[in-house]
Amino acid sequence: MEKRAEGADARYTYHIPCAHCDELHDLEWGGKGEPHGFKWVDGDPETVRHLCPHCGALATQGEYLAAAERGIWVGNDGTTIDQDGVFRDSEARWFMVQDR
């Protein structure tokens, strides 16, 4: 599977809008020393929140799940795929996917 992924034209991650600033970002684990990602207090899973890398706001699971409906797929080549399956290039121009 890794070999196929490495041979792909692009790799995509799902980005959701922040419930507070509306900027798109992917849900990353983050980690203790990271300035974004999932954070919690004293290891208590009831306190987990996702820290937005853009505005620093903390979002609850309910907030980011609701925002997920408005998310888009973003490729490492700058292309995007929206909720309707519309592909756009890195300059946000719509384009038709060609059959191979």
φ and ψ of 81, to 5 deg: -130, 120
Number of other residues whose CB lies within 10 A of the CB of residue 3: 6
User: pLDDT value at position 98?
Assistant: 59
21-29 long-range CB contacts below 8 Å, 24 or more apart? 21/52, 21/54, 21/55, 21/57, 23/52, 23/54, 23/55, 24/71, 24/72, 24/74, 25/52, 25/53, 25/54, 26/74, 27/64, 28/53
pLDDT, tens digit (0-9, with 9 covering 90-100), for 8-65? 778 899 999 999 999 999 988 888 888 899 998 888 989 999 999 999 999 999 998 9
